[in-house]
Structure formats: structure tokens, C-alpha cells
């Protein structure tokens, strides 16, 4: 919105990639004087064509700009801090009834989003505590002026002689300017002091290979995670369902495979009606909080805030583990006394590998710019942009290890909190990373062990210390396992408990980003099936792989899956291929994936993280099977002939 050459307001709204008519709403901040505007400019970024069917200027009732108490609480963003709450209007008070009699304080959050702040004198927020037959107790709380930074405020109010009684709580907002005002308020809860409340902590380390963990026998120094494994269980053969961030996290947090969710890339968003692990914990009375370190996991892009009471996100491409953990610890200080489910996502092991000074040098001796006997050749076209002149691939890996050691040290600031020492803690990754294997450099293309084998540590009070399990597991079963450990065995959630003693060994299935490949792991054998032609490009595989081509590897003898045995083990390859094709054809379309458009600021964010663009086939988000019912291509005919 402009007045002459003066920009009054700029806003960007992502649209779904769809041929259907969509309505995009752009809300104007209350601080913008729209009467001064003389031009409204609409621009579209991204692939077209785009047709505007119409533009309407509407006067939205102030109360509609935040969720109402009648509609129910929703996540409300103030900066990068999202909290579940409702709107309080200066026209109508909010009323809550608290029947919990076991605490001496109540706690709640409040704040005014930047777009709802006026330049005039701020309103006055009052919280009134009352019970029948006793005088009311009023508390006056401050609200920032329009020129001051805005944030959520966490408040604890003593109950005094109201402790142990049912209580009515009334929120009132008084306007000083005469204009209507709005404030966001979370539902007040009775607090029980102490660190003894049940706690479940799920940590996902983005792009973390299973073999770059000290406890797993790797050279990477991760003493904090090693201690966690020392007081719990280390799964030595854990796989992720896929090789890309958002689909893998959706699988972990819903318990459903990407084959069925329909979310196979970072351009999709989880639908609001998809039930999540956070939903289940929250419905059981737990407070739920997420803290993520990558911009494309922000709720408005990913939908992963579903079920969380709080989500601490970032609008930058990424941020350091230390910053995210500091942010998270600040929130945890406000939430003692309630059962708590926490999901922490750290992003440091993802490209570009740029650990703190000295972290990489701890893994490398010599000059990475000079060839020497122990150097591993690094093709010039595979040198990371910020490592100009480097000729030794080992130096790049040393930087990756430095990132892993850095994030390990930062986790100590979370794990050492008194509450976390008695918590149920899980550590895993969404996928791994390749360091040149199969022609994949500093990326997580394809479904080889480098990209799909991930760490898995589970620790809890009473866990068998230092235990190791060698059965093959998928980390999408983690949600079911955590619920069982937390005493919520009767709650409905998909998956199998990874710790069950009677768990039968079963093959597992994997699917790659954009539905390019699928894999079946029946230990020690892994079969990889290409679902589309794989053409060489600057980021991925050097050789061409044809659609429906098959590869077979013996992971016990060949852990890096470098020797294809499909021709030597034709019977085994044929049988495993049949099983994998049957699994692909049994797809249960859940329609949980909503397609985002790359024509937004997130396009630059994803590009900064190395995601070049959308490559998804149009049918991957439909209800169609991932493998055709019949196919007469050369590869399929080859395997059909082998049946004769």
C-alpha cells in the first residue's frame, strides 16, 4: 500500500499451488492510516500463470482478528513465539472457571501482536480473581506502548486465601484512547510447583548420520549424547521413513508413513485435521511445546504446530542450536508443575557446515587447501561455496563433525535441567547425509544407508543402562513408544512400541523425497526401486538410473551399499521387489498434505538451505498409487521374465 513514493505497508501471503480459486486475506495493522493511501499494488512471485478474480476492501470487526473463546484457542504469533490463546476485546471480558484445587498459583500468557497495536496510549489489562462470598482480587498488568518491542508475557499470580477452592477468573481490557482494543490471552491454569511432573522430551537433529555418534562407535565426539545412551537404550539399526526434513518429521509426529500422508517434500503443509502426537499429549492434560531451528518448519509453512500450546520458531533460514535452546529454556522456566511434552529440533548438522571456530580443527590435521597422502580427492565442482580452494573432502566432513560436537555440547544446557534428568528422552534424526557415496556430495539424496540410517536413543527412569538393540526399527514408531513409556498406553496412536519384548522382526519400507524411489529393508538386505528416471544433476547422482530399475545390497557385508547384487541374487531381488511393489500399491491416501506455493519468501529460505526447487510429479499428491497396476517398461518386463 502506497502514498505516492512512500510505502505505507507491505505484506506477503503464500498461496497453495492449485488451479482452484483461492481467497487470500491481507490484514492491515491498526497502526497504518489507510485513509492516507492512494495505491494498492499486488505482485506475484513464483511460477504462473496467476489470475486475479477480484479485490475487495473489507472492514473486519476487530474481534475477528484473533480467535474467539467460542471458536476455541488457536496458535497466535507474537514475533517468532506462538502460543495457544484467544482474543480479549475491550468490549467484552473473558471469563474462565478453574476447578483444580491443588495449586497455590495460576499462570497464563498475554500479549498484543504487532499488527494490533495502536500508536496511542496502550490499554489497561486487569485480571480479577473471585469466588462466591469473598471479595474480588484485582491485578493490573502492563502492556507495551506501540513504539516498544512486543512479546508474550508469562504471569504467575498467587491465589492467597483462594487456594484450594474453585475459582472464577475474569480478564478485562480497558481502552484509554476510546478506540476498541484487542489482546491475546492464554487459558489460565492452576500451577503445582516443582520439577516432579512427568516430562517427555523428543529431540530431532536434522541431517544427523547414525555413524556420527560416539556411542555408535563413530569418531565424532558427542559426550552428552553418549551419556544419554549410557543411561538408556541405543538402537543400532534405526531408519527414517524418508530422506527429507518435513515429510520425515510429519511421519514422526503423526506415526503415519509418508506413503500415506502424501507429504513427500518440503513444499507441503500438514492439514489442520491431521491428528498428531502433540494432540494426544495435550488431550491427556499435558502442556505441549515445540522449538524448531529451521524456517521451513515454521507453523504457517509446515503445519507442524498442530497440537502444540507453544511453538518457538524462526523466520530465518536457520538458527544455531544454542539460540533455540536458550529460547526453549526460557519457556521451560514458566511451565514447571505440569506434565510436559517437548519437541526440540536442531539444524546444525545440515549444510552449510560452518561450526564455531576450532570445532572442525579438532577433527583435522594439516592444510585442507593442499594435497597430502591422507587427503580424499574432492572434485572442484563439489567444493562447498564457503570453502573455496579446499581439495580434501575430509576437511568438509571435519566441519560436519564439528557441527555435531557443537550441538551435542548445547544439548547439555537442556539435559542438565533438574526436570530433564528424570524425563523420558528420545534423540533421533529426520535423515542422514552423504559425503560422496553414490555420487551424492553434502546432500541427502536417495535411500542409501548414509541418508536413511539415523541415531535412536531412548532413556527413562528404570531403563536398562547402556542397553543396545540391533533389530531394525523405523523412527515413525517413536510416538507410540513415547506414549507407552508415559503411561498413556490406552490412547489411540499409530505405530508399534519399539521396546516391546514380543516385537516381531518385519521388513521396513522407505520412500524418497518427491516419490523418486522406494526401498525395502529386510535385514541384512536392502532393495532400492527407482520410481522415476534419475537424471544426473549438480546436486545428486552421477549415473543415470532408469524408471523401475532395481538395486540390491547386503548391508552386513557392504554397510555403505556400494556393491549392487541384483544380478547375482536375482531370486531374492525379484521376491523383495514384489513385496515392495505390493506395499506401494496399498497406499492409503490420507489427504493430509496441503500444497504450498514456492512464490513466497520461503522460496529464498529453501534455496539458502540447498533445496533447489519443486520436482514433485503432479500425481504424487493425488490418490493415485505410487506404482502402476501394470507396466510394460523394459525394467518391469525384465523382472517379469525372471518369473518364467
Q: What is the pLDDT of residues 216-269, one digit of tens each?
A: 998 999 999 999 999 999 999 999 999 999 999 999 999 999 999 999 999 889
Given pLDDT bands bounded at 50, 70 and 90, which one contains residue 621? very low
Given pLDDT bands bounded at 50, 70 and 90, which one contains residue 580? very high
Contact (CB, 8 A) for 13 and 570: no
pLDDT at 17 over 50: yes
What share of the chain has pLDDT > 70, as a percent?
88
- The three three-digit cell numbers of residue 437, written as one number: 557415496
**What is the per-residue pLDDT for 195?**
57
Contact (CB, 8 A) for 620 and 263: no
The range of the structural domain enclosing residue 8 comes to 1-60
* 177 shares a domain with 235: no
Q: Please state, in angstroms and rounded to a whole number, the distance separating the CA atoms of residues 143 and 150.
A: 9
* 329 shares a domain with 184: no
Whether 620 is in a domain gets the answer no
- Distance of CA 443 to CAs 170, 351, 611, Å? 54, 8, 10
Query: Of 490, 506, 522, which marks where a domain is finished?
Result: 506
Query: Of 443, 475, 506, which marks where a domain is finished?
Result: 506
pLDDT at 44 over 90: no
**What is the per-residue pLDDT for 290?**
98
**What is the per-residue pLDDT for 32?**
61
634: buried, middle or exposed (CB in 10 Å: 19+, 13-18, 0-12)? Answer: exposed
* 304 shares a domain with 261: yes
* 122 shares a domain with 250: no
Longest distance between any two alpha carbons in the chain, whole Å:
89
pLDDT at 606 over 70: no
434-435 and 424-428 beta bridge pairing = unpaired
122 DSSP 8-state letter = P
Whether 533 is in a domain gets the answer no
Q: Please state, in angstroms and rounded to a whole number, the distance separating the CA atoms of residues 97 and 170.
A: 9
Whether 228 is in a domain gets the answer yes
- In 3-state terms the chain splits into helix, strand, coil percentages (rounded to 5) of 25, 25, 50
Q: What is the pLDDT of residues 373-396, one digit of tens each?
A: 889 999 999 999 999 999 999 999
**Highest mean pLDDT range out of 537-551, 565-579, 608-622?**
565-579
* 70 shares a domain with 56: no
> 46-65 b/e with 16+ CB inside 10 Å = b?
eeeeeeeeeeeeeeeebbee
CATH of residue 274's domain is 3.40.720.10
What share of the chain has pLDDT > 90, as a percent?
65
Q: What is the pLDDT of residues 455-480, one digit of tens each?
A: 999 999 999 999 999 999 999 999 99
**Alpha-helical runs (H) found in 478-569:** 478-485
Query: Of 9, 33, 60, which marks where a domain is finished?
Result: 60
* 98 shares a domain with 236: no
Helix pair 393-415, 223-230: axis angle to 10 deg: 60
- The three three-digit cell numbers of residue 357, written as one number: 571456530
531: buried, middle or exposed (CB in 10 Å: 19+, 13-18, 0-12)? Answer: buried
Q: Please state, in angstroms and rounded to a whole number, the distance separating the CA atoms of residues 301 and 295.
A: 8
* 251 shares a domain with 156: no
Query: Could you give the number of structural domains in the chain?
Result: 3
Contact (CB, 8 A) for 584 and 620: no
Whether 548 is in a domain gets the answer no
Contact (CB, 8 A) for 106 and 169: yes
Flag whether the pTM goes above 0.85.
Answer: yes
**What is the per-residue pLDDT for 104?**
86
pLDDT at 14 over 70: no
Which residues have C-beta within 8 Å of that of residue 198, sequence separation ≥ 6? 286, 339, 340, 424, 486, 487
> 470-499 b/e with 16+ CB inside 10 Å = b?
eebbbbbbbbbbbbbbbebeeeebbbbbbb
* 252 shares a domain with 178: no
Q: Please state, in angstroms and rounded to a whole number, the distance separating the CA atoms of residues 431 and 267.
A: 17
Amino acid at each position: 500500500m502506497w502514498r505516492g513514493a512512500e510505502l505505507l505497508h507491505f505484506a506477503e501471503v503464500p498461496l497453495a499451488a492449485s488451479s482452484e480459486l483461492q481467497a487470500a486475506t491481507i490484514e492491515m495493522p491498526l497502526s497504518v492510516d489507510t485513509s492516507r493511501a492512494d495505491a494498492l499494488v499486488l505482485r506475484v512471485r513464483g511460477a504462473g500463470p496467476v489470475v486475479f478474480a477480484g479485490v475487495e476492501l473489507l472492514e473486519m470487526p476487530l474481534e475477528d482478528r484473533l480467535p474467539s473463546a467460542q471458536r476455541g484457542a488457536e496458535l497466535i504469533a507474537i514475533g517468532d513465539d506462538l502460543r495457544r490463546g484467544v482474543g480479549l476485546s475491550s468490549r467484552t471480558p473473558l471469563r474462565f472457571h478453574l476447578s483444580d484445587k491443588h495449586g497455590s498459583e495460576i499462570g497464563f500468557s498475554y500479549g498484543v501482536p504487532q499488527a494490533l497495536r495502536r500508536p496511542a496510549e496502550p490499554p489497561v489489562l486487569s485480571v480479577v480473581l473471585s469466588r462466591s462470598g469473598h471479595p474480588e482480587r484485582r491485578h493490573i498488568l502492563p502492556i507495551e506502548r506501540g513504539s516498544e518491542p512486543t512479546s508474550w508475557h508469562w504471569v504467575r499470580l498467587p491465589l492467597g486465601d483462594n487456594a484450594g477452592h474453585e475459582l472464577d477468573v475474569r480478564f478485562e481490557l480497558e481502552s484509554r484512547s476510546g478506540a476498541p482494543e484487542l489482546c491475546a490471552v492464554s487459558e489460565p491454569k492452576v500451577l503445582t510447583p516443582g520439577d516432579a511432573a512427568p516430562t517427555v522430551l523428543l529431540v530431532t537433529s536434522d541431517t544427523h548420520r547414525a555413524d556420527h555418534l560416539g556411542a555408535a562407535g563413530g569418531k565424532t565426539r558427542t559426550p552428552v549424547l553418549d551419556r544419554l545412551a549410557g543411561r538408556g537404550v541405543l538402537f543400532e539399526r534405526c531408519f527414517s521413513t524418508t530422506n527429507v526434513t518435513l515429510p520425515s518429521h510429519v511421519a514422526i509426529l503423526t506415526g503415519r508413513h509418508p506413503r500415506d500422508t502424501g507429504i513427500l517434500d518440503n513444499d507441503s503443509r500438514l492439514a489442520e485435521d491431521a491428528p498428531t502426537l502433540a494432540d494426544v499429549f495435550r488431550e491427556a492434560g499435558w502442556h505441549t511445546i515445540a522449538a524448531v531451528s529451521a524456517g521451513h518448519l515454521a507453523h504457517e509453512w509446515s503445519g507442524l504446530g498442530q497440537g502444540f500450546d507453544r511453538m518457538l520458531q524462526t523466520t530465518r533460514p536457520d538458527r544455531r542450536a544454542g539460540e533455540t535452546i536458550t529460547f526453549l529454556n526460557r519457556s521451560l522456566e514458566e511451565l514447571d508443575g505440569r506434565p510436559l511434552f517437548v519437541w526440540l529440533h536442531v539444524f546444525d548438522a545440515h549444510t552449510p557446515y560452518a561450526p564455531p571456530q576450532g570445532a572442525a580443527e579438532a577433527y583435522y590435521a594439516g592444510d585442507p587447501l593442499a594435497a597430502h597422502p591422507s587427503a580424499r580427492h574432492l572434485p572442484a565442482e563439489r567444493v562447498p561455496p564457503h570453502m573455496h580452494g579446499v581439495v580434501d573432502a575430509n576437511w568438509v566432513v571435519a566441519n560436519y563433525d564439528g557441527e555435531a560436537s557443537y550441538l551435542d555440547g548445547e544439548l547439555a544446557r537442556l539435559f542438565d535441567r533438574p526436570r530433564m534428568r528424570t524425563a523420558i528422552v528420545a534423540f533421533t534424526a529426520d535423515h542422514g547425509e552423504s559425503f560422496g557415496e553414490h555420487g551424492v556430495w553434502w546432500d541427502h539424496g536417495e535411500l542409501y544407508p548414509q541418508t536413511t540410517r539415523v541415531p535412536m536413543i531412548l532413556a527413562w527412569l528404570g531403563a536398562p543402562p547402556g542397553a543396545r538393540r540391533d533389530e531394525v526399527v523405523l523412527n515413525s514408531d517413536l510416538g507410540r513408544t513415547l506414549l507407552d513409556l508415559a503411561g498413556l498406553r490406552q490412547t489411540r496412536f499409530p505405530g508399534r512400541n519399539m521396546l516391546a519384548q514380543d516385537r516381531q522382526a518385519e521388513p521396513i519400507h522407505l520412500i524418497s523425497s518427491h516419490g523418486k524411489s522406494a526401498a525395502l529393508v529386510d535385514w541384512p538386505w536392502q532393495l532400492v526401486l527407482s520410481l522415476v528416471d534419475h537424471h544426473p544433476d549438480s546436486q545428486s547422482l552421477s549415473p543415470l538410473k532408469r524408471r523401475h530399475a532395481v538395486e540390491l545390497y547386503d548391508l552386513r557385508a557392504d554397510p555403505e551399499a556400494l556393491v549392487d547384487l541384483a544380478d547375482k541374487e536375482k531370486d531374492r531381488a525379484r521376491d523383495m521387489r514384489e513385496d515392495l511393489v505390493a506395499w506401494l500399491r496399498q497406499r492409503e491416501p490420507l489427504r493430509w498434505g496441503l500444497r504450498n506455493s514456492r512464490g513466497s519468501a520461503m522460496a529464498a529460505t529453501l534455496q539458502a538451505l540447498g533445496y533447489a526447487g519443486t520436482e514433485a510429479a503432479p500425481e504424487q499428491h493425488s490418490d493415485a498409487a505410487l506404482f502402476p497396476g501394470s507396466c510394460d517398461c523394459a525394467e518391469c518386463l525384465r523382472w517379469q521374465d525372471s518369473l518364467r
